[in-house]
Each structure stands twice: as structure tokens, then as C-alpha cells.
């Protein structure tokens, strides 16, 4: 193919299916300890080798805490579970690599969905689940809707790193508990 496929989503539309993909992955992980943080980032989209204004690539990263990142459950079992799960869903596995390092073994698993959304489970220093949109048309930040994070990250908390899209602040959901974030008040707990 010579031309990129027409993006299925705008940037603003991409977050919902991407977050759903992350939530779907979390749902199959046994004894899930919770993510520590969520990060919304972007990359320049390119065409013919040149960065294209008006397009972007959304990358959502969920990061396990450092202690959890090092457990066999998170580094190995989850990778096996996700490989099986994504394969069963018909996703194309494009990378399944193991890299031996002096002090640890890194693992990397990448699956691409039919709609172009990519899922990357990377057990490195930290272990992360990353979801990438592929090229999408860029949206004004005003048009981007806040979506609460999955995997136990407290919405709007210190580790919900989406602030640049919501400079006015994020409505926190009091029902969601972030195991890594201090509550605003300990009053009810005492």
C-alpha cells in the first residue's frame, strides 16, 4: 500500500476505544495489583517521511509500580495471559521478544487490532501497558473528553497524568481508589 489508511478516529475519538482496550487487557489479568500511573502522550504523525501538521499519534501508557514491575506475575504471567488473550481476539502479534540483560530479563509483546490500535506490553525497568492509536487527525484539546483511567489509577490524582489536556482541572471520582495515591483527606479513615 502506498498511502496510509484513512484514520478511523479523530484524536478526540481515539481515547475511548484505546482506554477500553487497556481496560479489556486489565480485566483478564489475575490478581491484578493495580497500575501506579497513567500518562497520555502524543507523537508526531508522518507522511512520506515528514511530520504532518494536523495529524498526531496518541500513546496511552499505564505503568506498574516499581516493586510490582519486578514480580514474575507482572513480568511473565501477564505477558503470557495477554499473548493468549490478544491472539484469541484475532489481534496480530507483531513482536514477541525476550532480551537478556545482566540484571534482568526484558520482555516485549505487541499486538495490533484490526482498527489499527496497537497494544504494547513491555516489561523493562518498569513494566507498562501501552496503547497507541496510529495516525489520527489532531483535535483541539477542548474537544478531548476526560476518561477516567483503568486499573486503579485515581482519576485526577497525582498519577493521572493527563493534565495538559485539562488545564482547568479534572473532576475526580470519589468512588475510585488509587492504591498509590494519598487521599485528599484521611478524615473518614480515622
Partner 1 sequence: MSEMTWEHLRDLDCGAVRTLGDTWKTYIDQQLAHTERLRTDVIEGHLGTEHYESDTATQVRDQIGMTADRYEDDLSDYASTRIATTLLEAADAFEKEQNELKELVPLIEQHDFDIEGPHSEYDVNLSGGLHRAILTLNPPQWLCDMCGVKKPDGFWDIDTLKVLFDSVDLYGTAIGLAGQYQDWLRAVMSRAHDADDEAAAALAEMHENPAELPPHLGATYDDLVDDYKEGVTEEVADEAEAIADGTSGLSPEQVNQWWEGLSETERRALIDEHPEWVGPVDGIPTEARDTANRTVLDRDIDALDTRIAAEEQALQGLDPESDEYQNAKEALDGLKGDRNDLAGLQDRITNDDGTPRLAEGPEPQQPYYLLGFGTQDNGRAIVSIGNPDTADNVNTLVPGTTANLSGAGGLLHRAETMQSDAQLSSPHTSNATIAWLGYDAPDTIVPEAMQERWADGASEDLENFTEGLSATGREDTNHTLTGHSYGTTVIGHAATKEGVDADNLVFVASPGVGTDTASALGVDEDNVWATRNSLDPIHLTPDFLHGADPTGDDFGGNAYHSDTGAWNANNHSTYWDDTNMAGRETLADIATGQR
Contact residues toward partner 1 (CB under 8 A) are 1-5, 36-37, 39-44, 46-51, 53, 56-57, 59, 61, 63, 66, 69, 94-95, 97, 99, 101, 106, 108, 110, 112, 118, 120, 122, 124-126, 128, 130, 132, 134, 159, 161-164, 167
Least spacing, CB of residue 177 vs partner 1, in Å: 19
CA-CA distances (angstroms) from residue 13 to 50, 87, 174?
A: 24, 25, 25
* Maximum Cα interatomic distance, the chain, rounded to a whole number of Å: 63
**Nearest residue to 150 via CA among 131, 132, 166, 134:** 131
Minimum distance from residue 61 beta carbon to partner 1 (Å): 7
Residue (106 or 187) nearer to partner 1, CB: 106
Alpha carbon distance 67, 70 (integer Å): 6
Shortest Cβ distance from residue 142 to partner 1 (Å)? Answer: 14
Secondary structure, 3-state, 15-41: HHHHHHHHHHHHHCCCCCCCCCEEEEE
Shortest spacing between CB 180 and partner 1, in angstroms: 10
Supply the DSSP symbol for 189.
G
Angle at 141 between CA 151 and CA 178, to 5 degrees: 20
Instruction: Report the nearest approach of partner 1 to the CB of residue 136 (Å).
Output: 12
Q: Of 81 and 124, which has the nearer Cβ to partner 1?
A: 124
Tell me whether residue 132 or residue 150 sits nearer to partner 1 (CB atom).
Answer: 132
Q: Please say which residue, 101 or 190, places its beta carbon nearer to partner 1.
A: 101
Query: What single-letter DSSP state applies at residue 111?
Result: E
Specify the residue for cell string 497500575: 35
CB closer to partner 1 out of 62 and 150: 62
Amino acid at each position: 500500500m502506498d498511502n496510509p489508511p484513512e484514520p478511523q478516529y479523530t484524536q478526540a475519538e481515539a481515547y475511548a476505544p484505546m482506554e477500553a482496550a487497556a481496560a479489556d487487557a486489565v480485566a483478564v489479568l489475575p490478581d491484578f495489583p493495580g497500575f501506579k500511573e497513567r500518562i497520555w502522550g502524543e507523537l508526531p504523525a508522518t507522511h512520506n517521511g515528514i511530520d504532518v501538521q494536523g495529524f498526531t499519534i496518541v500513546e496511552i501508557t499505564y505503568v506498574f509500580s516499581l516493586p510490582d514491575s519486578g514480580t514474575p506475575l507482572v513480568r511473565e504471567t501477564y505477558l503470557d495471559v495477554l499473548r493468549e488473550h490478544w491472539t484469541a481476539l484475532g489481534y496480530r502479534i507483531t513482536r514477541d521478544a525476550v532480551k537478556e540483560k545482566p540484571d534482568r530479563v526484558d520482555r516485549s509483546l505487541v499486538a495490533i487490532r484490526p482498527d489499527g490500535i496497537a497494544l504494547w506490553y513491555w516489561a523493562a525497568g518498569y513494566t507498562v501497558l501501552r496503547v497507541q492509536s496510529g495516525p489520527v487527525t489532531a483535535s483541539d484539546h477542548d474537544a478531548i473528553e476526560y476518561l477516567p483511567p483503568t486499573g486503579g489509577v485515581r482519576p485526577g490524582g497525582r498519577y493521572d497524568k493527563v493534565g495538559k489536556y485539562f488545564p482547568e482541572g479534572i473532576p475526580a471520582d470519589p468512588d475510585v481508589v488509587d492504591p498509590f495515591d494519598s487521599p485528599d483527606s484521611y478524615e473518614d479513615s480515622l
